[in-house]
Amino acid sequence: MQMGEGVEWGLHCLMALVWLEEQGPVAAGRLAEVFELPPEYLKKRLQPLVRAGILASTPGARGGYSLARAPEKITLMDVVAAVEGREDAFRCTEIRQQGAGVLASVGEFGRPCGVAAAMRRAEMAWRRELAAQTLADLLGVAPAGAAGRVRRFHQSR
């Protein structure tokens, strides 16, 4: 079970956009340079963040991406849900009701399947942890020189 690269790309781009905030919106091509990523492919990966209201996309020659809300208001769960979807990783297809399940007494399957409930508990622990961490927290633990370095790189282009 693997995530796509969209979460890593998205979170790093969000951090860079905070550091480049004073320059106004950052075009996809310029943002791609900051991480040496393929611009068109990066655009596709960032699109879900625009749809989710995490990123703002300004059209036009001086347009580009900027944060749609404050870093404290963007949790890792918001980003993961936008990029990877809101469905649980585990899908219960109710195989318990098939085969021998046809012999079940009425009401036996009224309560959720214990397997699904157990997998859900783990999923919820993961979600709680992601929801408890914000972009502001990530910015807070970034290396001291990172913001200035990204700004210098961006201005040198």
> Which parts of this chain interact with a copy of itself (CB under 8 A)?
1-5, 7-9, 11-12, 15-16, 33-37, 76, 84-85, 87, 89-93, 95-96, 98-101, 103-105, 108-109, 111, 114-115, 117-119, 121-123, 125-130, 133, 137-138, 141-143, 145-146, 149-150, 152-154
Minimum CB separation of residue 14 from a copy of itself in Å reads 10
Minimum CB separation of residue 83 from a copy of itself in Å reads 9
Q: What 8-state DSSP symbol labels residue 64? A: E
Which lies closer to a copy of itself via its Cβ, residue 60 or residue 143? 143
Which lies closer to a copy of itself via its Cβ, residue 61 or residue 141? 141
Minimum CB separation of residue 16 from a copy of itself in Å reads 8
Q: From CA 99, how far away is CA 74, in angstroms rounded?
A: 46
β-partners of residue 56 are 66
* Nearest to 53, CA basis, from 36, 73, 28: 73
Which lies closer to a copy of itself via its Cβ, residue 70 or residue 122? 122
Cβ–Cβ under 8 Å, residues 51 and 36: no
Q: From CA 40, how far away is CA 118, in angstroms rounded?
A: 40
Which lies closer to a copy of itself via its Cβ, residue 7 or residue 27? 7
Q: From CA 139, how far away is CA 12, in angstroms rounded?
A: 10
How far is the first Cα of the chain from the last one, in angstroms, to the nearest whole number? Answer: 38
